[in-house]
Amino acid sequence: MLSNIRNLFYLVDFPVKTKLALAVIGAFIVSLLEIFGVAATYPLILLVSGQSIESGPLATLAQLLGTTDRQRLIALTGIIVVSAFIGKSLFTIGFRWWQSGFVNKMELSARVNLLGLYLDSPYPDHKKRELSKIHTNLVTSMAQAYRMSIFGGLSLLTNLMTITLMLIIVFILSPQVAIIAVPIFGAVGYAIPALSKRQLEKISHQITKADQISWFSSMPALSAFREMRLFSVGDQFVEKYKRGVEMSAKAQRQQGLVNELPKNIMEIVFIVSIASLAVFMFSTRDQAEAIATMGVFSVAAVRLMPAINSAMASLNVVRSGTAGVLLLNREIEYFKGISRYSALPSSNTVFTGDVDVQGVSFQYDPAAEPVLKNISISIPANKTVAFVGSSGSGKSTLVDIILGMLPPTQGSVTCGGIPISADLKAWQQQLGVVPQSVYVLPGNLKENVAFGLPETDIDDAQVISALAHAELNELVDSLPNGITEDLGQDGGRLSGGQRQRLGIARALYRTPKLLVLDEATSALDNKTEHKITQTIEGLAGEMTIVMVAHRLSTIKKADIIYYMKNGEVVNQGSFEELSELNPEFKELVELGKL
């Protein structure tokens, strides 16, 4: 577990060693102040119970404080005890505030860095990830790992130091009391956490699982709202959500009980011990000795009990964070072993010329059949190239390889003779892509066109030009605030066609050298599609255009069409040539005329 905790510092981007050392020193000071208060109570009890000032510890105290007057000694010792407790409390408040700030800063840094790492991961790995798990790791696991395990661990350390020092002081002051207190409190302090360990770990995993169930039942229903409505399955999603929430509530209730129990058991143990000790002491010793011993035991127990309770509670908190620590460790181990996108070297290579795909094969899974088989094609500069073929023939995969999103299992992609893998960042900066489904950011129209750029870096004129190219003039004119109009949650104000055109405007804003349209016009009506096709045809010659299309009307004027089947390019040519060459393509053309 310790190595897992140490791994958590990997995500923190400031030096933690010095601060951790300060946290340990602070914990030690808190414990010292705590026992000083307890130790100072001992002479006070001796004074009050009438012990002689002539000899023993009270004689030393009288010498130190410069008086042998009992009343004065009681007043001075009282002031020292009260000051020690006030000093300890003030220091503890300040120290805990500093400590929680330190742990909060760690969690914040870790959360930000983990999101950065997710966005920095290789695309194939990202495709395999479940969004719900990313969400759980960024929220629940983070809180469990840092707030519960690390902060709880620091509290546990403080409490353990206090307990140890307190027992040492009790042993020095009254070995008899120590001999009774250590086994009793030691046994209880060990037994309770040992018994609750497995239960708490189980509860921690249940809370994480419940969180995922709630996510799985709420997010799909909200995202696929229309399907949910038409299938009339809203109640079922709510029912599943209820199961997740109930599971979480039940687990949290159990967690509360397991956390509360030690305190109550400890109180019972304390009352029983003090009663038994009182009976034993008053029946076997003289009254003054019995009172002094009972006094030390009571003060020690009164301070020890909260320390032991607090230690057990902290241990429970640490254990409750186990699931988060383990989940984050899995991610951290993964991230340690990958090459990050941001770390790729780039020398701002300017790629010009034809794009050549040479002997490219690709497998998503080493054990599975290749999805692309030895493909060699050329995409001449500033020409329009289209990929067609049946569903699952590998068009989108090939496009992802050309975009540099997926590395080919075999073969290479070059532009002007330079492998794109030599400077992937520079290559990707020259690309624009319009996907099948366009994501609308929460924000206004221009922020959506400039996707992710800070407001101050957005070139309004370029936004307007990109929108005009994508035939979105009418939309802009109809919006009261033009390009600064908010598009609403998930672009709810946009039609399917407008979303797609927004995607085109977004790609054109970057003035790409190579524009990829992956089923980009599939959601458009015939008239809009025709207009967009004209727009794209208008761009022909200005940039290289790669299109993946099912609707053949959009690719009629493409310079080269590659026909794909089962991961291979089986024919190529112009629209007319391919109609002659490939019966399946011819059939698609015929169907399109219907």
Under 8 Å CB-to-CB from 474, ≥6 apart: which residues?
Answer: none
Shortest distance (Å) from residue 524 CB to ligand ATP: 17
Instruction: Tell which residue, 306, 355, 336, has the closest CA to residue 162.
Output: 306
Nearer to ligand ATP, 10 or 364 (CB): 364
Distance between CA atoms of residues 158 and 31, nearest Å: 7
552 scored as a contact of ligand ATP (CB under 6 A): no
Shortest distance (Å) from residue 338 CB to ligand ATP: 17
409 scored as a contact of ligand ATP (CB under 6 A): no
What is the DSSP code (8-state) at residue 422?
Answer: G
User: Which one among 92, 358, 396, 412 touches ligand ATP, defined by CB under 6 A?
Assistant: 396
User: Which one among 394, 408, 432, 503 touches ligand ATP, defined by CB under 6 A?
Assistant: 394
Shortest distance (Å) from residue 258 CB to ligand ATP: 42
User: Which one among 141, 397, 544, 582 touches ligand ATP, defined by CB under 6 A?
Assistant: 397
7 scored as a contact of ligand ATP (CB under 6 A): no
User: Which one among 391, 478, 489, 526 touches ligand ATP, defined by CB under 6 A?
Assistant: 391
Helices marked H in 349-410: 395-402
566 scored as a contact of ligand ATP (CB under 6 A): no
Residue with the two structure tokens 């790992």: 145
Which residues in the 105-164 window bind ligand ATP by CB under 6 A?
127
395 scored as a contact of ligand ATP (CB under 6 A): yes
Residue 39 CA: distances (Å) to CA of 42, 171, 288, 532: 6, 11, 18, 85
- Confirm if 521 and 529 have CB atoms less than 8 A apart: yes
- Confirm if 564 and 556 have CB atoms less than 8 A apart: no
User: Which one among 87, 101, 392, 541 touches ligand ATP, defined by CB under 6 A?
Assistant: 392
- Confirm if 504 and 520 have CB atoms less than 8 A apart: yes
What is the DSSP code (8-state) at residue 144?
Answer: I
Under 8 Å CB-to-CB from 403, ≥6 apart: which residues?
Answer: 428, 431, 433, 516
Shortest distance (Å) from residue 381 CB to ligand ATP: 24
Which residues in the 285-324 window bind ligand ATP by CB under 6 A?
none
Shortest distance (Å) from residue 565 CB to ligand ATP: 10
- Confirm if 12 and 143 have CB atoms less than 8 A apart: no
Number of chain residues interacting with ligand ATP (CB under 6 A)? 11
Which residues in the 354-383 window bind ligand ATP by CB under 6 A?
364, 371
What is the DSSP code (8-state) at residue 453?
Answer: -
Nearer to ligand ATP, 121 or 259 (CB): 121
31 scored as a contact of ligand ATP (CB under 6 A): no
Distance between CA atoms of residues 543 and 469, nearest Å: 14
Residue 474 CA: distances (Å) to CA of 255, 501, 506: 58, 12, 17
Nearer to ligand ATP, 193 or 394 (CB): 394
| Interaction site with ligand ATP (CB under 6 A) | 127, 364, 371, 389, 391-397
